Structure 1
């Protein structure tokens, strides 16, 4: 049975310009931001429609899915906030996106997590996704014993593919991923991971 993982609301992973923080499942500001971010035209085009279009639905999602990921892995979906100045606290910073390190629930899960990111449309092109993902990966390796990491994205999404390459992940080909319903996606992995991806549960 997983224990309830509940980091303090003040906890963050700081980077040069950002704070990366856990979603607080009971925080209405977090619910409202998720609804805003996930219903932008850009998000729906690249990630699909989540159906989470009200704060009530976002709260239910956070209490169930987000918290379950935290309990199981101590990682999952994180908020990204922009510092107004280099020494700013998390509370002083402005929510601009999300970064994730997701590992599904067995048996529908790969044995290594995958990194993901999405920013508000007006914050794209500023390097925030790369900075947030690098900060989260560094923390996960240092504190959560995460080693191998996947990156999945649409084969037709050059911006996401560039970010994965900046993170040091290597392109491992196009695969029809069962966890995403058999869609053909670009698969990236950290260099130390085996060339035989079936050992991590990836097959097509």
Structure 2
């Protein structure tokens, strides 16, 4: 695994987006995103209900991951605007053997290809900058939109799993080095 400085390509620009590290100034955005009804339904309640909890969530999660792994969840914004519209990035979870790609967007920004564009950029970083040979993702069974994004970036359904003793089954998708990648 590369040193944390390997992600010197951030902020990362795509055709329409900029991905950058989250910081405590993003607390209001994170509070809104983590309490969105679809986030709660498909991803779960992270127990973040105040600005102070949102700041702590960013420090203990994304910022700690940047220091430890050189990657984490990154803020996503439109290239021509300052406000964050979502998060996307690579996560090292205790509950999964492999690095996980994840994303979530505010309701107004869903269904416009932003998750796909950000996830494609993150997969390129995973392969090229971090040299990952396998990337996984998990989705709720009732989240077909997320599954479509994962398939478009080259991940394939592997199996149903349960994480952390959770009663709910989740779909595990994976990309392995050597797998054919879709044209981007």
**TM-score, normalization by structure 2:** 0.85
**Contiguous gaps of at least 5 residues in structure 2:** 180-184
Q: What is the match of residue 133 of structure 1?
A: 119
Deviation at 1:191, TM superposition (A): 4.2
Deviation (angstroms), 1:37: 1.1
1:181 aligns with 2:166: yes
Structure ranking higher on relative contact order (CA contacts 8 Å, 6+ apart):
2
1:162-201 equivalence runs, <5 A: 162-175=148-161, 177-179=162-164, 181-192=166-177
Q: Deviations over 1:1-53 (max 9, x none)?
A: xx987x89x941111100111112xx32x011100111122211221221212
Question: Is 1:53 aligned to residue 49 of structure 2?
Answer: yes
Of stretches 53-62 and 160-169 in structure 1, the one that deviates more from structure 2 is 53-62
Q: C-alpha distance in 1, partners of 2:117/2:32?
A: 22
- Offset at residue 164 of structure 1 (A): 0.7
Deviation at 1:163, TM superposition (A): 0.6
Once the two structures are superposed, what CA deviation does each residue of 1:53-99 show, in whole Å capped at 9, x if it has no partner?
Answer: 21111111222232221222111111110122xxxxxxx53310011
Give the structure 1 partner of residue 144 of structure 2. Answer: 158
Residues 150-202 of structure 1: CA distance to partner in whole angstroms, max 9, x if unpaired?
01101221111101111111111222x234625311111114489xxxxxxxx
Taking the aligned partners of 1:66 and 1:120, their CA distance within structure 2 comes to 18
RMSD: 2.4
SS at match of 1:80: strand
Runs of 4+ in 1 over 4 A off after TM superposition: none
Kindly indicate whether the alpha-carbon contact (under 8 Å) linking 1:170 and 1:191 is maintained by their aligned counterparts in 2: no
CA distance in 1, matches of 2:44, 2:97: 24
Structure-1-length-normalised TM-score? 0.77
Q: Flag structure 1 segments of 5+ consecutive residues without an equivalent.
A: 85-91, 195-204
Residues 102/59 of structure 1: CA separation in 2 closer, same or farther (3 Å cut): same
Point out the structure with max Rg over C-alpha: 1
Secondary structure of residue in 2 paired with 1:174: strand
**Does residue 83 of structure 2 align to residue 94 of structure 1?**
yes
CA contact 2:140–2:171 (8 Å) conserved in 1: yes
